Structure 1
């Protein structure tokens, strides 16, 4: 596991830290050490032409392999006439190569079960372009062709002029999708943050003028210059013969040639100017007022053991500072709606120490000052020993979990490590080496070390202050001198050192009265064992070996908000969130976090419309603690008036400008129309928020969790059956039961019948968002369910072909279906896409035409074959996944369906024909119940 990748994954959403001071000290002392070696489990090499490869055998998942082609060529290398062509060429690589002309490549892979967009994909950034291809590894012909596809992508894209013309519309639609307030504001502040360097002028999406009119020969020049072997690498990880793959790579890729003369590959940078910058910007569609103070720092390498120590220290500091910001944010009247600070990567060359807050209207001074106060407090007084010990526990716990799981590491994780190694020279020594270094380093890192590192965080140069707000606040935004004055005032304040309250109480104030297992039922077909406990709780265990260090669980019972009146609805729907925020038993939310330091677990109660329950996961080692929390969330929910007021205040402020955002307005409209404008389906409002009552919410929560006899708990993962039984008897068997199991009520909120058409006019950009719904009642059964799913997939394939490839009117259309058995069996087909407003009616007509073809003739046989290939691959992969089993078993239990249904999926797939799907389409894909909703810009009114 790559250290920096793990650090990024482990980081809290808001972090803090700086390696600058430490790196300077280590460099002076000459202690950074020799570079860490690459993990010996990966076979790597460099061909005579400079092409590199990384190959690793890995069996998670079994009989699968992932191939990545990584090119050190992105938008930063474009000339003015090529702006956007790096990304455009990425698209063109799927539209014709030497061995797979035109659309043959995508067509061949879809027939092989590879999904376009989900599996088969690529991305372009400033400095790289990356292509990905996952394949079954037990099909030798397909694997051989997969390597050939990678070789074609490396240097044999045809870049046909006709195909370029066809793809222009698709690229422009992709660009259109990203337009909006965030994009408009980004275009203003990124040049500032990038110090007006070349990066500011080379956004990967490019310029519309180039996308529309760029000449084919200019595309080919970029491809000729930069798609060359000495800037490329192939990464292959999966259930393969490494020697055989290496031989094929040498044979295929050794023939690639570098251009002559060779254009120098410049490594562009963002120079540090030593200047401070300020920008205040507003937008009509902005929904919040935010401030970010960013201090640019030199980029930090991660190549040696000394660098690794630096990274560990940074993460420890990040965690501690993040926890302090969380505590400030939990005050009854928080100074900011959200806030945090931390070092974050900024492209390849720089890091940012960024302090950010989101505030209520008129709250900039209070929010910025509060955030800066925590930075100043940490800088002035440092951190405490107890804070550091908890941070170490968390860090070691995460690393230990990764080490225990090393034999089940997903191939994609290894690919990401080797990709960073190739692109950015980030060390990838392997999890054994990293875990060893972590265990050696943590005991010798002291509070003094962290405090010294904190001293180098804040400097008075290379600082950007960026304020963003709705247009309504344009006249009240402060000037640079004002904000700088706030920061200076905080630095002059008389502050107190942070006091870290000790946590000494046991998690459980009293032990549960242990129950007993009273009956056992075996379901060997699906590997499930059912227990019934003496209090009526049903438990289903499915032991698996897919992950060594993971047990997921879910408990649920019928009822939910359906049992309560509209007057109580807001309190009922918010009750689980209120309890989660408040803590449990004797522990506040903050203290609970301290107590659980180092443990790898999550436990979360929920209340939905038709049920309530608790979801979670834990390592086998921490499962008992997780079950103790399940017991406490069920029996000892905690009331915290201050945190409740905090939640209401933050939510209220967040709703104030919700109507500015076109997507929120459109989403609320969809929910309201589909829910017949029932009060439970319409969007959130400040008025609804006033209906949430803490006492009533807590009372409802207690009522819903009072009767354990109605609950079913599922456990999936690395389960020791003998070890888990006493835990189940104690913590689940000890739950109180009243034996008054409630059934969820039918609220009578069906999707409306008939034809409904509604346009929503909101937003400035010239773009439309289309949502189409086709619904109806039906008899729930697995044959029909499988046919409905198949119809959504073949429709999706056809819409991609027609709306994107043939008409060039959309980027990524989607077709989905959802089915529910309760309260009344029904289905909903949905089709969604973004497009130019002028094209909306035409594209909707195209969708309706494709539906008509399905009703009259069924899908094309080739598209049905593509779906079957994809579904067979998905079924095989799903059966090796804990998440699938948890979701499937939960659905089967709640719908009161047999657990063995999954065993018939292949047979149902085999029986499916064009004729059977035509009949299903004629019955279910009608426009009798058709809802057409379109979001259009205000100018289109």
Structure 2
């Protein structure tokens, strides 16, 4: 279950689309291939957008809708989804929380899979619970996702039986309901009982205007979750899980006709209930003026304001809608580019600012302005964001801004078009889901690309400039302020707050577009030469050694059509900085990466790179420094020029330095209010043996840092390219790009030095230790159990630790979640490294009720001891192998995997060809070997318990 997708303040404030449908900003069309280009320029009269012919859309006699599309990315895989137009807004008062509870019960007993047999069956097929097999419940929908292999006909066909079970055959065994109550309540505890939840209850009645949405958060009410009768949840399922409100979406590497028959065979017998209830469409009612809510909480670490102007929803169905969506994208991009520029001032007016028009909730769109303020500077933050929107309303945008925004928009669409045959199946699923739920059009990427290309020139700047006046209003508006309790005395009253908003921007002047016409690189580098070439025919790589000591590992692929990944590293990093200079050194790469290059400040550089598909940035880590990024083949030379400039002409910008210091200090000011941050800081401190290099920085350390020291350290680490290794993976011809590599990478300065990192000896302390943190007023705890020690890094040992990690993860889900009902999402994380010295750690973590901490720790150690004494169950080894095999099969076809693998192989001096043996090597994990690994690596002689508990009563 995908954490129930309940509404969060972060989603409201930042419009994060990964939460529920509440904050769904209308996005650019998702790629979907089409067989023939379509001329779209003539269709501007509001004609209905076409339907992509590559998707089969049908409806069964019982009303169930289905979408089917063949897609081979990834190969031998399919995404199967069941989408229900049934969410928490449909619950009656006694059913609050049961839409979400129904989702849980779908994994706890169906007609064909009693109890938890469904999860176990899929795990043995290589489908991982939580990561792959998942679901979410929102206000208006409940969605189940089932990714399956298609090279196993039995498993693939069984998937449609599983979807049909979810759609109409969940059993709701009373014993399973009672067992699941604890899990759902622990999910509520994990997500809630914190400042965000308490503030949420204060602001939602205003933000959502006391609508049905404000009263039907998907998680529901605790007392109902504890006490509801089975008949109550069965009633919800009976009324709303019905074929006329359901869709099956299947996208993947399969025969569409076969899939269509499977859908007919499995879903045709489902029936709608007699006298079915009408599916009411709820909305957020309008208000004639402005509603204001100022809310505070003891543990909230930020002060922020949101101004939400609600508008009637526009669904993308016609060519006119599509064109307006293009205008909105351009408007949002230009406005937020201006707000982003303000953060680059020495004393930025806010920590974060954003303003955009997009989707809201309850069949409305909204223009939302957000300002996260520095402590005590709410007025400055609000006025700065509002002033920018007012500047746009009064004076509009400039022609140069407009041209850049159009070019960026077209470039994004062109990128999607170029990858049209490499698009992941899940992207299509998301598009079809919105078509079913919202009626959004699905014309396909070729139509969309041609529409963009043919019509973006028809958009007029005057049309964009008119949008600010259209979207900004004091009607149907909500103004929200959220802050820590300690800021209460500094907060404005409602009258003052509205005065700030109404007077902001009165004296604004037209925006001046600061651009530079200089070339990116004024002086061409002196090219080096290739002095040796080594080829690895097993994994199809070519390694060039250049005359300046730079090594370049090249792996051309066909996994993406328009992507080249770049990563260059050299050993050294902040380990070479003295304790006195560490803070400056640790900030260096971020500061330089935000300061522009050569004679261009960051604003000018970003504008110069407008319309290019390129991203390059420097990094400095503890043991290494380097450059990473990506580009399209077309912009590859620009990417190499940026790499060259980060070595030879880094820019020192005092304003960026001061801005970074100011914002970091502001974020630190209230960090101690948040229990989770306090606990995380304690964990970091304990596990680093209190070494300040691994801990959150302090104001005193920031005060001791300087731009000169940071710049000097950066220059020192990047002054000599000798010993640098670059890994390039993607769409290129190694021989054709060789002259560019010799010119820009071979032209980097080299003095022949080759200094490596310093082993600082920072690692998890030995011995047994228990550390309790008492922080927070909510009834919730967090637990982290850590085993650690020296490690002999090898492929053989790594496989055993990986197997142990997954086996323990499976057993703790079964024990702590399913049997004890004491946690929602227990986790196990194993880490191992070779550098600077071999070390490992295995961490178990979970959230729970404070009263259950000791019991659940004891249960965890009991499961660990079972594995140590008896070994894991053979079926759990089988699940590990199946899940890992399926994961590796996909990874081997991804550029990102090869970029990381080749870099790690180079750093660890291991054989990169081992990647080809990784599936076969899984057979090295057996019941006996994993038992031995458990005894070796889960040794309580090096065992740390870290526990977050609520504050003690005073």
Task: Find the counterpart in structure 1 of residue 478 from structure 2.
Answer: 464
1:17 and 1:342 in contact (8 A); partners too: no
Task: Find the counterpart in structure 2 of residue 916 from structure 1.
Answer: 929
Query: What SS does structure 1 have at the residue aligned with 2:356?
Result: strand
1:653–1:572 distance in 2 versus 1, CA, 3 Å: same
1:816 and 1:831 in contact (8 A); partners too: yes
Where does structure 1 differ by over 3 angstroms across 4 or more consecutive aligned residues? 14-19
Aligned counterpart in structure 1 of residue 352 of structure 2, from 338, 342, 353: 338
Q: Is residue 858 of structure 2 the alignment partner of residue 845 of structure 1?
A: yes
Q: Is residue 437 of structure 2 the alignment partner of residue 423 of structure 1?
A: yes
Q: Tell me how far apart the structure 2 counterparts of residues 499 and 440 of structure 1 sit (CA, whole Å).
A: 30
Residue 490 of structure 1 deviates from its aligned partner by: 2.8
Task: Find the counterpart in structure 2 of residue 3 from structure 1.
Answer: none
Q: Decide which moves more: 876-885 or 76-85.
A: 876-885
Q: Tell me how far apart the structure 1 counterparts of residues 450 and 460 of structure 2 sit (CA, whole Å).
A: 18
Aligned counterpart in structure 1 of residue 63 of structure 2, from 44, 50, 57: 50
Task: Find the counterpart in structure 1 of residue 148 from structure 2.
Answer: 135
Q: Tell me how far apart the structure 1 counterparts of residues 420 and 806 of structure 2 sit (CA, whole Å).
A: 35
Query: What SS does structure 2 have at the residue aligned with 1:567?
Result: coil
Q: Tell me how far apart the structure 2 counterparts of residues 863 and 528 of structure 1 sit (CA, whole Å).
A: 36
Aligned counterpart in structure 1 of residue 330 of structure 2, from 316, 332, 335: 316
Residue 32 of structure 1 deviates from its aligned partner by: 5.1
Residue 939 of structure 1 deviates from its aligned partner by: 3.3
1:157–1:195 distance in 2 versus 1, CA, 3 Å: same
1:69 and 1:234 in contact (8 A); partners too: yes
- After superposition, the C-alpha distances for 1:45-93 in whole angstroms (9 at most, x for unaligned) are 0111100100000000001011000000000000000000000000000
Q: Is residue 272 of structure 2 the alignment partner of residue 269 of structure 1?
A: no
Query: What SS does structure 2 have at the residue aligned with 1:257?
Result: coil
Query: What SS does structure 2 have at the residue aligned with 1:44?
Result: strand
Task: Find the counterpart in structure 2 of residue 626 from structure 1.
Answer: 639
Q: Is residue 259 of structure 2 the alignment partner of residue 231 of structure 1?
A: no
1:707 and 1:738 in contact (8 A); partners too: yes
Query: What SS does structure 1 have at the residue aligned with 2:878?
Result: helix
Aligned counterpart in structure 2 of residue 751 of structure 1, from 746, 751, 764: 764
Q: Tell me how far apart the structure 1 counterparts of residues 916 and 284 of structure 2 sit (CA, whole Å).
A: 57
1:96–1:110 distance in 2 versus 1, CA, 3 Å: same
Q: Tell me how far apart the structure 2 counterparts of residues 702 and 672 of structure 1 sit (CA, whole Å).
A: 30
Q: Is residue 784 of structure 2 the alignment partner of residue 771 of structure 1?
A: yes
Q: Tell me how far apart the structure 2 counterparts of residues 798 and 727 of structure 1 sit (CA, whole Å).
A: 53
- After superposition, the C-alpha distances for 1:473-521 in whole angstroms (9 at most, x for unaligned) are 1122101111222223235x33311111232000012111111111100
Q: Tell me how far apart the structure 1 counterparts of residues 311 and 242 of structure 2 sit (CA, whole Å).
A: 33
Aligned counterpart in structure 1 of residue 454 of structure 2, from 436, 440, 446: 440
Q: Is residue 648 of structure 2 the alignment partner of residue 635 of structure 1?
A: yes
Query: What SS does structure 2 have at the residue aligned with 1:680?
Result: helix
Task: Find the counterpart in structure 2 of residue 519 from structure 1.
Answer: 532
Q: Is residue 633 of structure 2 the alignment partner of residue 589 of structure 1?
A: no
Q: Is residue 110 of structure 2 the alignment partner of residue 84 of structure 1?
A: no
Query: What SS does structure 2 have at the residue aligned with 1:443?
Result: helix
Q: Counterparts in 2 of 1:353-368, with a 5 A limit?
A: 353-368=367-382
Q: Counterparts in 2 of 1:138-153, with a 5 A limit?
A: 138-153=151-166
Q: Tell me how far apart the structure 2 counterparts of residues 334 and 599 of structure 1 sit (CA, whole Å).
A: 28
Q: Tell me how far apart the structure 2 counterparts of residues 410 and 907 of structure 1 sit (CA, whole Å).
A: 26
Residue 681 of structure 1 deviates from its aligned partner by: 2.0
1:654–1:15 distance in 2 versus 1, CA, 3 Å: farther
Q: Tell me how far apart the structure 2 counterparts of residues 107 and 488 of structure 1 sit (CA, whole Å).
A: 59
1:780 and 1:821 in contact (8 A); partners too: yes
Q: Counterparts in 2 of 1:27-426, with a 5 A limit?
A: 33-179=46-192, 180-426=194-440
Which consecutive residues of structure 2, in runs of 5 or more, have no partner in the other structure? Answer: 1-15, 29-42
1:65–1:389 distance in 2 versus 1, CA, 3 Å: same
Q: Tell me how far apart the structure 2 counterparts of residues 529 and 591 of structure 1 sit (CA, whole Å).
A: 37
TM-score, normalised relative to structure 2: 0.95
Residue 634 of structure 1 deviates from its aligned partner by: 1.1
Task: Find the counterpart in structure 2 of residue 645 from structure 1.
Answer: 658
TM-score, normalised relative to structure 1: 0.96
2:17 and 2:24 in contact (8 A); partners too: no
Task: Find the counterpart in structure 2 of residue 860 from structure 1.
Answer: 873
Residue 879 of structure 1 deviates from its aligned partner by: 0.6
Q: Tell me how far apart the structure 1 counterparts of residues 346 and 831 of structure 2 sit (CA, whole Å).
A: 41
1:16 and 1:342 in contact (8 A); partners too: no
Q: Tell me how far apart the structure 2 counterparts of residues 693 and 457 of structure 1 sit (CA, whole Å).
A: 44
1:275 and 1:462 in contact (8 A); partners too: yes
Q: Tell me how far apart the structure 1 counterparts of residues 953 and 749 of structure 2 sit (CA, whole Å).
A: 60
- After superposition, the C-alpha distances for 1:793-813 in whole angstroms (9 at most, x for unaligned) are 100000000000011000010
- After superposition, the C-alpha distances for 1:337-394 in whole angstroms (9 at most, x for unaligned) are 2212111321251122111111122212222112211111110111111000000010
Q: Counterparts in 2 of 1:778-817, with a 5 A limit?
A: 778-817=791-830
1:509 and 1:586 in contact (8 A); partners too: no
Q: Tell me how far apart the structure 1 counterparts of residues 827 and 951 of structure 2 sit (CA, whole Å).
A: 25
1:292 and 1:467 in contact (8 A); partners too: yes
Aligned counterpart in structure 1 of residue 721 of structure 2, from 705, 708, 726: 708
Residue 221 of structure 1 deviates from its aligned partner by: 0.4
Q: Tell me how far apart the structure 2 counterparts of residues 510 and 695 of structure 1 sit (CA, whole Å).
A: 26
Q: Tell me how far apart the structure 1 counterparts of residues 26 and 372 of structure 2 sit (CA, whole Å).
A: 21
Q: Tell me how far apart the structure 2 counterparts of residues 851 and 776 of structure 1 sit (CA, whole Å).
A: 17
Residue 329 of structure 1 deviates from its aligned partner by: 2.1
Query: What SS does structure 1 have at the residue aligned with 2:279?
Result: coil
Q: Tell me how far apart the structure 2 counterparts of residues 547 and 137 of structure 1 sit (CA, whole Å).
A: 22
Query: What SS does structure 2 have at the residue aligned with 1:609?
Result: coil
Task: Find the counterpart in structure 1 of residue 499 from structure 2.
Answer: 485
Residue 275 of structure 1 deviates from its aligned partner by: 2.8
Q: Tell me how far apart the structure 1 counterparts of residues 225 and 749 of structure 2 sit (CA, whole Å).
A: 65
Aligned residues: CA RMSD: 1.7
Aligned counterpart in structure 2 of residue 551 of structure 1, from 545, 556, 564: 564
1:71 and 1:128 in contact (8 A); partners too: yes
1:515 and 1:734 in contact (8 A); partners too: yes
